[in-house]
């Protein structure tokens, strides 16, 4: 097989890139180690920054998102039984986020790409990258996991293969630096068949710590609680989850959370991670392959899309105008946004979680931080600008 850009991974980074390149008339093939069904069913992030919503529409992929997504003017912060509305829309000159699940975005991207005649090879095995130092890098893979060995010859290889994929490892260890922070807590996420309990997302730090009330549809709600990252989900029967959600979301005003049957639950660890640089020879890495944020503030998916927007512009300048400079600057350009998202996700995470390794002094500082956001317009605006999506430089 021969194409201009070989993309490893059919997550948000790989699929948005395939669409952006198609619109620019640049050829790309995507390979993915999981089945289409597995990709379309994995429950992950939920919040789209305002410019990602605009990009979905721009790419002609926004119809279902506009119909089924929830558009929120603000968020609610809670501690000590009190709720405070942060007017994201008012503080950012009218910008809003959409709550539209990542796997729904992926369904729209996959259907759209296949309808354009684009090539996405699902269920590949043994992905290997080679010849990065030459003008003709290659990606080897086995079709259907263990079937015939096939090769994609291309001009550029894009590693959009998530945190555990092989692309980052293809950058020699001597050429990359990795920065990491592991948090002493994880998130237990559930999907429940229940009606909406509150009109917007609630981020709370109360009792045993963090909880997040989010939504998916009028009758399916998404909720998270802070938990032991090494905990076994078997030790979290539904009654224990509800007890914790009730305690962390309880208000002084007698509001109550509506329960429903839980039909999906899982635990994820929380980590911050950045790999510098995000390129080596003819390899460019994007999204979770290059960086991870803890999920508080919902930056992961949005950051993956930001990387590939920068990359698509750089590839366009290269192919259309024979300019190499934007490709050379890809990593530096992305990392400025990446570190700001790392900072924001770390800030939201430390402010909103109970960390028993910290002192009571630090705990009070986190409540002071929450109080500041809810009483200082400058502080609230800073949170709002980051939450809705920073402008591109």
Of 35, 34, 91, 96, which Cα lies nearest the Cα of 65? 96
The answer to whether the beta carbons of residues 50 and 93 sit under 8 Å apart is no
User: Looking at 22, 50, 70, 72, which residue is catalytic?
Assistant: 72
If one counts every other C-beta atom within 10 angstroms of the C-beta of residue 362, the result is 11
Expressed in angstroms, the distance from the first to the final Cα of the chain is 37
- Among 74, 112, 300, 389, the residue binding ligand FAD under the rule CB under 6 A is 300
Question: Sign of the CA dihedral 7, 10, 13, 16?
Answer: positive
> Rule CB under 6 A: which of 129-158 touch ligand FAD?
none
User: Looking at 203, 224, 280, 330, which residue is catalytic?
Assistant: 203
Q: Which does 39 bind (CB under 5 to 8 A by kind): ligand DHB, ligand FAD, none?
A: ligand FAD
Residue 46 or 112 with smaller CB distance to ligand DHB: 46
If one counts every other C-beta atom within 10 angstroms of the C-beta of residue 47, the result is 26
Closest residue to ligand DHB in the complex (CB): 46
Q: Which does 221 bind (CB under 5 to 8 A by kind): ligand DHB, ligand FAD, none?
A: none
User: Looking at 50, 291, 299, 318, which residue is catalytic?
Assistant: 299
DSSP per-residue string spanning 221-281: EEEEEEE-TT--GGG--HHHHHHHHHHHH--TT---PPP--EEEEEEEEEEEEEEE-SEET
Residue 159 or 297 with smaller CB distance to ligand DHB: 297
Residue 304 or 384 with smaller CB distance to ligand FAD: 304
Q: Check binding of 31 to ligand FAD (CB under 6 A).
A: yes
Stretch that binds ligand FAD, among 174-182, 244-252, 300-308, 378-386 (CB under 6 A): 300-308
Residue 12 or 69 with smaller CB distance to ligand FAD: 12
Question: Sign of the CA dihedral 105, 110, 113, 114?
Answer: negative
196 phi/psi in degrees, rounded to 5 = -60, 135
- Among 22, 95, 168, 222, the residue binding ligand DHB under the rule CB under 6 A is 222
> CA 96, CA 92: separation in Å to the nearest integer?
8
Which residues have CB under 8 Å from 69's CB, separation 6+? 48, 53, 98, 99, 100
- Among 170, 257, 275, 298, the residue binding ligand FAD under the rule CB under 6 A is 298
Q: Check binding of 53 to ligand FAD (CB under 6 A).
A: no
60 phi/psi in degrees, rounded to 5 = 75, 25
Active site residue 387: yes
Residue 5 or 65 with smaller CB distance to ligand DHB: 65
Give the relative orientation of helices 330-352 and 300-321 as an angle to the nearest 10 degrees.
170
Q: Minimum Å distance from CB 61 to ligand DHB?
A: 20
Active site residue 193: no
User: Looking at 280, 295, 318, 366, which residue is catalytic?
Assistant: 295
Report residue 46 CA to chain centroid gap. 8
Residue 275: cis peptide before it, omega within 30 degrees of 0: no
Q: Minimum Å distance from CB 237 to ligand DHB?
A: 22
Of 327, 304, 313, which Cα lies nearest the Cα of 14? 304
Q: Which does 214 bind (CB under 5 to 8 A by kind): ligand FAD, ligand DHB, none?
A: ligand DHB
Q: Which does 17 bind (CB under 5 to 8 A by kind): ligand FAD, ligand DHB, none?
A: none
Q: Check binding of 44 to ligand FAD (CB under 6 A).
A: yes
Backbone torsion region of residue 93, taken as left when φ is above 0, otherwise alpha when ψ lies between -120 and 50, otherwise beta: left
> Rule CB under 6 A: which of 96-155 touch ligand DHB?
99
Stretch that binds ligand DHB, among 39-47, 50-58, 138-146, 271-279 (CB under 6 A): 39-47
The token duo for 17 is 């890139």
> CA 121, CA 13: separation in Å to the nearest integer?
16
Residue 11 or 159 with smaller CB distance to ligand DHB: 11
Residues that bind ligand FAD (CB under 6 A): 8-14, 31-34, 39, 44-45, 102, 124, 127, 160-162, 165-166, 268, 287-288, 295, 298-301, 304
Residues that bind ligand DHB (CB under 6 A): 45-47, 99, 201, 212, 214, 222, 295-298
């Amino acid at each position: 097989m021969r194409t201009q850009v070989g993309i490893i991974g059919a997550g948000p980074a790989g699929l948005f890139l395939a669409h952006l390149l198609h619109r620019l008339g640049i050829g790309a093939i995507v390979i993915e180690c999981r089945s289409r069904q597995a990709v379309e069913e994995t429950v992950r992030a939920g919040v789209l920054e305002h410019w990602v919503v605009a990009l979905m529409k721009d790419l002609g992929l926004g119809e279902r998102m506009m119909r089924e997504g929830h558009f929120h003017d603000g968020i609610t912060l809670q501690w000590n039984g009190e709720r405070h509305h942060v007017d994201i829309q008012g503080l950012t000159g009218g910008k809003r986020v959409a709550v539209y699940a990542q796997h729904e975005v992926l369904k729209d991207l996959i259907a759209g790409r296949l309808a354009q005649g684009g090539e996405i090879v699902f269920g590949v095995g043994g992905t290997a990258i080679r010849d990065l130092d030459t003008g003709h890098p290659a990606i080897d893979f086995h079709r259907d996991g263990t079937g015939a060995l096939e090769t994609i010859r291309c001009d550029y290889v894009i590693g959009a293969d998530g945190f555990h994929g092989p692309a980052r490892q293809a950058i020699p260890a001597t050429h990359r630096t990795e920065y990491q922070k592991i948090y002493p807590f994880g998130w237990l996420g559930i999907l429940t068949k229940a009606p909406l309990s509150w009109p917007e997302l609630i981020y709370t730090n109360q009792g045993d710590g963090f909880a997040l009330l989010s939504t998916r549809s009028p009758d399916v709600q998404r909720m998270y609680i802070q938990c032991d990252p090494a905990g076994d989900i078997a030790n979290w029967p539904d009654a224990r989850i509800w007890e914790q959600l009730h305690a962390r979301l309880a208000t002084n005003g007698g509001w109550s959370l509506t329960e429903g049957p839980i039909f999906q639950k899982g635990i994820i660890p929380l980590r911050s991670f950045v790999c510098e640089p995000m390129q080596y020879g003819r390899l460019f890495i994007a999204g979770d392959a290059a960086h991870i944020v803890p999920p508080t503030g919902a930056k992961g998916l949005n950051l993956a899309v930001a990387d590939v927007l920068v990359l698509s512009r750089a590839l366009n300048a290269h192919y259309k105008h024979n300019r190499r400079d934007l490709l050379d600057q890809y990593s530096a350009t992305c990392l400025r946004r990446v570190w700001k998202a790392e900072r924001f996700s770390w800030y939201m995470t430390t402010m909103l979680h109970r960390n028993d390794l910290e002192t009571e002094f630090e705990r009070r500082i986190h409540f002071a931080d929450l109080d500041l956001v809810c009483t200082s317009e400058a502080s609230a605006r800073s949170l709002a600008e980051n939450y809705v999506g920073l402008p591109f430089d």
